[in-house]
Chains A and B, each alone.
Chain A
Amino acid sequence: MSQLIISVGREFGSGGRVIAEALAERFGIPVYDRHLITDIAAKTHLTPEEVEKYNEAPKPHIISRRVRGFSNSIEDNIAEMQFNFIREKAESGESFVVVGRCSESKLRDFKCLVSLFILGDMDAKIKRVMEVYELNEADAKELIEKKDKKRKRYHNYHISLHWGDSRLYDLCINSSRLGIDGTVDALEKYIRARVENMEKE
């Protein structure tokens, strides 16, 4: 198989990360999500917990400043390191799945990129978050809204088109319709068709 990069954007609670991991397994390629935190932690002399704090986070505007492309914000610098990391991996010819990190736009110029966005019905997302994080309904809803707001601000700060805007992705899919496994099956079919097409070209 020639190079394949799968970018997975996701709403919190939609099962996007689990879907990304399942796709990575089916195509026999690595998934970069947690790795983007541990690798940066090793490079920055920060603990993974500290990197987690700044990971996929929008910079606080009031206490940040940018001068000739340089930024004092740790959020900005960690984001840039992550963008560089996935770009270097892509340029090396490696196949991989990457979760979030504006990868659908940052790797847009790679022809082998398949960009996906996983969304879900609020009810289904709440149910899932209640199970995974052992929360009550109100807390689960609050967590979903908080996390999505953070991802949206992070994405829209780095990219001009909006997070979740269908024009940014090859395919947007609601995981509540087919369930996690059904969604993975459907996506696998779509990606195999794309790979076939890429190989013909």
Chain B
Amino acid sequence: MTAQIFAVIIFVLMFLLIVMDKIERHYVTLGCGALTLVVVFGICMRSGRAIWDTLAIKGFATKEFWYQVTESESKGINWATILFIAGMMVMVEGMAKAGFFRWLCMKIAFMVKCKTIPVFITFMIMAAVLSMFIDSITVIMFLAAVTIELAALLKFNPIPMILAEIFCANLGGSATMCGDPPNIIVGTSLGLSFFDFLTNTGVIAGVCLIISVVFFYFAFRKELVSASGEAPDMSKFPKPSEAITNKKDFIVSSIIFGLAVILLITHGSTHLTVASIGLFIALITIIANGKDSIELLKKIDYKTLLFFIGLFIVVGGLEETGILKLIADFIGKISGGNVFLMIGIILWISAIASAFVDNIPFAATMVPVIESLSATSGVDLHTLAWSLSIGTDIGGSATPIGASANVVGTSVAAKNGYPVSWGRYCAKLAPATIIVLTISTIYIFVRYL
């Protein structure tokens, strides 16, 4: 009982400190993680096994960590998630250095002759497609910057376009296992594959993307009219080729990206885990960049990786002490065994929570909850997993602080003279989020129940 109380206190403290943003969040999770190991596992439980299980270091030595034929579930620190994210970070840094993202944005703008509405529609689709494979922060950072550049040349307000891109990036992230950190956590914890996500959440995201494009077109079309009303003079725009900093690096990084996509799509049949893919992609990027790879490695966001380590330990504290099982039992009880209600609760509570707090700790906490819920109620675990993924990934779009892409997109806009208030953001994106979540709920009910 004492261990449970301390595990909850540490977890709540961690969440409060993250929200208060006084101390950098990786220090918060690592500090709270250390407290969990010492106070909960060491002093209260006196359990070396709990510490060992949560640190999960022995997992590296197992074959299943790198090559997995059958589904297996993980516990404690999810090293596969951390290794995969680190690998993708190295690859993305290599692509950014070569000018890949800027080139792609400019290329697409040129393909549609830099006309405002076609740029608006293609950029929304590009945000969704890129976010299926690359973290949404990087996608939005480049897309928003190019959008502002185009807005200055075409004389339109870039805010509606950036808001639509943010929404579609979060939606695209929900389509695959590697699109959004909650999906990587859900996928690696439950032994799901890229293809599992693509054929389930991917279909939902695809349907919702079509609806979102239509919704945003009607919501923003009046604001996107070019002030000049004249056809754009293409000669004034920077050429896509000017974005490429080094042709050799550009080709190499494009090939590595293509390889990463192929490895991810086929990992269900090659049995290579995402940890192996992450490590492999990082290694070939480092080899291909030679001496420059030191610069790439320096640019990796180590703080996020450390944040994950601390977070998994704190959640491990809740899991080992049985708190998450209690939450699962509580959800089972209030839904009275009604599977529709259970799915509704998982999806909508995840969405509402993710609209206000970081969806990564939320997803990490909820994975053991849905496992326990499935075991006790008999509801298919995969259906609960898709509900959790959709709820956490898409719910984050509703407010400016719900997901990292929202913060980065609105910040890039503000830095360039277009501050976005909460009211401005939520006026269109909150209804869009509700529409998309409603469609997703109906889809899940019809397809799986």
Residues of chain A having any CB pair with chain B under 8 Å: 43-46, 61-68, 70-72, 74, 77-78, 80-81
Inter-chain contact B407/A67, CB cutoff 8 Å: yes
**Shortest CB distance A55–B (Å):** 13
Contacts of A44 in B (CB 8 A): 414, 417-419
Identify 16 new A-B residue pairs, CB closer than 8 A, beyond the known A66-B407, A70-B407, A71-B411: A44-B418, A44-B419, A45-B417, A61-B19, A61-B21, A63-B422, A65-B358, A65-B407, A66-B21, A67-B137, A68-B301, A72-B414, A72-B420, A74-B419, A74-B421, A81-B415
Cβ of B344 < 8 Å from any Cβ of A? no
B406 in contact with A72 (CB, 8 Å): yes
Bound together, the chains give a CA A201 to CA B126 distance in angstroms of: 58
Most buried by A among B304, B407, B412: B407
CB-CB < 8 A to A68: which residues of B? 137, 301, 303-304, 404, 408
Whether B401 sits at the interface, judged by CB under 8 Å, is yes
Whether the Cβ atoms of A77 and B414 lie closer than 8 Å is yes
Asked if B410 CB lies within 8 Å of chain A CBs, one says: yes
Interchain nearest-CB distance for B424 vs A (Å): 10
A64 to B422, CA, bound (A): 10
Q: How many A-B residue pairs have CB under 8 A?
A: 61
Known: A70-B408, A72-B410. A64 touches B417 (CB 8 A): no
What are 26 A-B residue pairs whose CB atoms fall within 8 Å in the complex? A44-B417, A44-B419, A45-B417, A45-B418, A46-B419, A61-B19, A61-B20, A61-B21, A63-B422, A65-B21, A65-B400, A65-B407, A67-B408, A67-B411, A68-B137, A68-B303, A68-B304, A68-B404, A68-B408, A70-B407, A72-B410, A72-B411, A74-B421, A77-B414, A78-B419, A81-B415
- Pair B401/A77 contact, Cβ less than 8 Å: no
Q: Which residues of A contact B303 (CB under 8 A)?
A: 68
In the complex, which residues of chain B have a beta carbon less than 8 angstroms from the beta carbon of A81?
A: 415
Tell me how far the C-beta of B107 lies from the nearest C-beta in chain A, rounded to whole angstroms.
25
In the bound complex, residues from chain A placing their C-beta under 8 Å from that of B414 are 44, 72, 74, 77
Contact A62 B19 (CB under 8 A): yes
> Which 6 interchain pairs have the tightest Cβ spacing?
A70-B411, A77-B414, A65-B401, A72-B400, A67-B407, A74-B419
Nearest chain A CB to B180 CB, angstrom units: 14
Nearest CB to that of B20 among chain A residues? A61
